[in-house]
Amino acid sequence: MKFRIILFILITIIINSVKSQNSDHTGKYASVNGLKMYYEIHGKGSAQDKPLVLIHGGGSTIQTTFGKVLDSFAKNHKVIAVELQAHGHTADIDRPLSFNQDADDVAELLKQLGIEKADIFGFSNGASTTLELAIRHPNLVNKIIVGSTFFKKSGAPSWLWDMMSHPTFEGMPQPLKDAYLKINPDTNALYTMYKRDVARMQSFPEIKEEEMKSITAPTFIIIGDKDVVLPEHAIEMSRLIKNSRLAIIPGGHGDYIGEITTKADPLIIEATVRMLENFLEDKN
């Protein structure tokens, strides 16, 4: 009888341990430039392994942008996923939103974590932040992946700027609203994030061509053929950044990684991950 009780206890401990290992990663916070910044670490490896940093899009969280690819990347990399000012678990503070500031915040986080160099994958607004990281903090950057972004307003179709000229909160995708409120049920904070992201895009800060040319990190540019980025602009970016590659994937904004608002094809997502893994692992 005692043996059965002991065996039951051991089995329960093992099951709970496995559940704990397979559960969502508990995030952490770091104080960076006056911001209490949320981040998660997935996968294995040390700071010397050049971890992969994931930077989400505007109005988004780690999961809404990268939820369908994060585990795949974590199989081969130490992944550091962040949530930027006013997004997800990271509360807003009294300062403007800017891609420059976001880049400085991510750079400071990496320094605090003792990371000398990292690969960076940014999507949409997160890709704008990634470009600024490569420009402002080149010593911290190994390779960059920039998904669905442009460096000047003419790189986006006119309908995007027409929409930004008269935006509505009702037009914000409901899955993004739901994801934010699941983390933070404060509807006022959600609306503030929305207004701040809109204001940043309405006054979109263009990057000078000379700055784009200054990027030395090997770069992978990826967009959808029905994206918020014009294909000819993506080609222009690839020619300005000397050591770059370009992929134009069938689909819309974030289809290729399964962003939460898309109806993504699992086969395209898998192919994208393999393509990006080949880029990250290429030693040339």
pLDDT tens-digit series, residues 158-204:
999 999 999 999 999 999 999 999 999 999 999 999 999 999 999 99
> What pLDDT score does 50 carry?
87
Write out the DSSP string of 171-217: GS-HHHHHHHHHH---HHHHHHHHHHHHHHHHT--PPPHHHHHT--S
pLDDT confidence bin for 7, thresholds 50/70/90? very low
Residue 174 maps to a domain = yes
Residue 234 maps to a domain = yes
Residue 77 maps to a domain = yes
Give the mean pLDDT of 224-228: 97
Number of domains in the chain: 1
Residue 12 maps to a domain = no
- CB-based contact 33:108 (threshold 8 Å): yes
Statement: residue 276 has pLDDT above 50? yes
Q: 32-75 pLDDT, tens per residue?
A: 999 999 999 999 865 457 899 999 999 999 999 999 999 999 99
pTM of full prediction above 0.95: no
Q: What is the CATH number of the domain that holds 207?
A: 3.40.50.1820
State which residues form the domain around 166: 27-281
Measure the CA angle with vertex 216, ends 257 and 212; round to 5°.
75
Residue 53 maps to a domain = yes
Residue 69 maps to a domain = yes
Average pLDDT over all residues of the chain: 91
> What pLDDT score does 45 carry?
67
> What pLDDT score does 16 carry?
42
